[in-house]
A and B are shown apart, each in its own frame.
Chain A
Amino acid sequence: MNFGMEIVWWLVPAALAMGAGFLIAFIWSARNGQYEDLETPAVRILFEEESKNKKEQIDAAGRTL
């Protein structure tokens, strides 16, 4: 057992924890309906900045689905 390998003992769990974090983020976004309509949000970014409640709108789309 050489000296450098010691680090693995906490490096691997840390890597797994980070992976788990991203997995949880993915599950959250899938549950939230963010993969239902992949076209319109891309188009929505092009509108002029007028409607103040854009975030609410997007949330509403997710909720009502």
Chain B
Amino acid sequence: MQSVQKDSKVSTHCSGKYLDWDKYRSKDVKLYVEGVHCTGCVGLLERLSIVQPAEVEQSTFNLPQSTLRLRLRPGAALSRIAGQIEEWGYVPHLIEEESDADRQAARENRARLIDIGVAGALAGNIMLMSIPLYSGVDGSLRTFFEALSLGLAVPAVFYSGRSFFKNVAAAWVNSTFSIDAPILLAILVAFFYSCVSVFRGTHELYFDSLSALIFLLLSSRYYLARLRRSSKLSLGVLDYFQAKGDRVVGDRYQPESGMKLSSDGVLRFGQIAVDFSHFSGESVPVWIKPGGEVYAGTQIIEASGDAVIEVTAVGDRTRMAQMLEKVREAQERRSDTQIQADRWAKSLLRAVTTVAFASLVYFAWRGHTAEGIRRVLALLIVTCPCALALATPLVFSRALQILIRQGLLVKDPIALDRGANVRKIFFDKTGTLTWGKLSVVGGLESADSETLRLLYSMVTRSRHPVSRAIEAAIVRIAEKDDRSPVRNPESWTEFREMPGLGLSAFRDGGEEFRLVRSEDNQTTFSEVVFQKGAVREELLRVRLQDQLRPKSAKIIRDLQINRYGTALVTGDHAWPAREVANQTGINFVYSQKTPEEKAEIVERGLMVGDGLNDALALSKARVSIAVQGGIDAAIQSAQVYSLKPGIETVPVFLSMSKLVRRTLKQNFIYSTAYNLIGATLSLSGFMSPLLAAVLMPMSATTVFVWTLARLREKNA
């Protein structure tokens, strides 16, 4: 890193890519910088103000978010700064200033932190004041400490505890029952009863219990909210595709090769080739003519010199942004277990509130009001069901967070519920178990370098998958022994693609070369023939095949060891399906199935397939994972989208579902037992409200810590 720092000079040459950033006229700029891992990198990026003092006034890096905040001097060219960052070996992305929602969230976060701080300070001091009271001071000192506790308890209840008032009031307006209602009831009863005690001198104070309760509740809720927020944020880099940049709707600009689009648009003039793979799953670049649409998040592979794109949507309005929004919305949906847990928690709450009122009335009637209040307070505090109500969403958000890090985007949390029960797994063949694209398996080894040179200069002119495969194979051969085939490409006088048939090219002297499909296509691979001259003299016969991904067989075997049933479902013919089944050891084969038949077969199992071609089967399956086909298609049909190609992520998902199921069950048993014992002890008078206030968050914390300890990456 040191040497890089010394060598680095102001870069002026490699900034062409970022030229259009210069239109960005803001003084404060935020960049997402890819590839920053270490301390040295941070130091380097924060040196920008020293390396380019004429342009950068300040640069501040935020390591967890990987963002660089720049304050520019007047007249600074952002392209030069970006060029410098790129020269250091990082990839800068321009991102929009924080949205209002982000800023609002940051403000709220601070406000809650302050609330917790205040509540903690008040609770701590009230507890100290209680020590002399418990140890039995009397006289004026007693009055002094009691008055002080009361003074400190007022802000604890009405300032720190205001969120409980708000929640209960909001639920009341919507005529529902807030889970905060019993807590608020306990706090208010404790507070007013203690106030009355102070004035009547009966020494029944609960200020310590209630302030501790408020502080511990606020802290555990803050922690939970933080965890949830971080699991949402980790949709990660995808967010940055939503970058608004500097364009507005109606702008026109000239696209360049390699440019990543940050807005939707329509091509007005010229031609461009676009890589839609991240978007639609289409792996071959698509040529677009004037009038065709392009989307944010896609990349331009090639652009003709006269190409012009008109912007049609930016920021939140782009299709990519709307897709990701849908994923977010879907993640908010609650699974069956979660709904059950909520229902259970709510009915428990109602029961507790009813029992509390009944006991209060009973004790008052019997003339033991003080004792009744003591027991009911303990009951309300100890059974506060936050343990279960809060831990269940935590389990899910933790699981989603871990899965995203492992490359799985879970759209519907219901998939995690059901994944634990799945016994049978159905795999699609093409693109799922195999690479989904042809590669050369034979025919080129024997060729001389002149033939290879001619073939190479021909296939490089075509974008057909077969041409791509042959080109890649020749490059591999050339790298191994002899560079000559890829040097001096033949300059054809005429070249054309014959759709559905092959390629044809003419050499200077009128000699024709053809690359055509083999007539006798009876084998498991496709064959093409390279021919020369009018007599079609055969120079080469190249065999191509869609090969199995290297890990497929091992993963299938592991799944079978774990007693999962495996099956192959494909629309393909029987023999290629058979062959793949033999190679991987899959038990059942369903071949030549229509999409409707596929959907029927997979109904009760887990379907792993292509978001585009298997959309129907994926949407009908009990659990579905799309392993390719782009996010767009996947979120329509599948519950889970794998950012990694191939079936690697399937076992990860399955073991995570089981882990989630087990953790939920343990949490449920624990909190039920805890609440039953706690309620019995409180009502029979063995538990003081203070002990309850301490126990309640301890039980919540136990469940939290337990959940977090269980749900870790290495356990999944």
Contact = CB atoms under 8 A, between A and B. Distances in A.
B106 interface: yes
B113 A36 contact: no
A46 B62 contact: no
Interface residues of B, number: 36
Interface string B115-145: 0011001001100110000000101110011
A34 to B, nearest CB: 10
A23 B124 CA distance: 12
A50 B50 CA distance: 9
Interface string A11-43: 010011001101100110011010111111001
Given A1-B139, A27-B117, A33 B148 contact: no
Given A16-B125, A40-B61, A47 B141 contact: no
B63 A51 contact: no
B178 interface: no
B106 A53 contact: no
Nearest to B97: A64
Q: How large is the interface on A (under 10, 10 to 19, 20 to 34, 35 or more residues)?
A: 35 or more
Given A12-B148, A31-B114, A46 B64 contact: no
A5 B552 CA distance: 79
B39 A46 contact: yes
B54 to A, nearest CB: 16
A23 B118 contact: yes
Interface string B19-41: 00000000010000000000100
B71 interface: yes
A43 B60 CA distance: 12
A50 B60 CA distance: 14
Given A8-B141, A60-B60, A50 B47 contact: yes
B46 interface: yes
B709 to A, nearest CB: 22
B43 A46 contact: yes
A26 B119 CA distance: 12
Centre residue among A16, A53, A56 by max chain B CB count within 10 A: A16
B163 interface: no
A61 B60 contact: yes
Contact of A1 (B50, B60, B141): B141
Contacts of B636: none
B125 A30 contact: no
A31 to B, nearest CB: 6
B110 interface: yes
Contacts of A46: 39, 43
A26 B59 CA distance: 27
B63 A27 contact: no
B49 interface: yes
Contacts of A35: 110, 113
B47 to A, nearest CB: 7
Contact of A30 (B60, B113, B128, B141): B113
Interface of B: 28, 39, 42-43, 46-47, 49-50, 58-65, 69, 71, 106, 110, 113-114, 117-118, 121, 124-125, 128-129, 137, 139-141, 144-145, 148
8 contacts: A15-B128, A22-B121, A23-B118, A40-B61, A43-B63, A53-B49, A61-B60, A65-B106
Instruction: Rank and list the top 9 A-B pairs by shortest CB-CB distance, nearest first.
Output: A40-B63, A47-B43, A23-B121, A39-B63, A61-B60, A43-B39, A26-B117, A30-B113, A37-B62
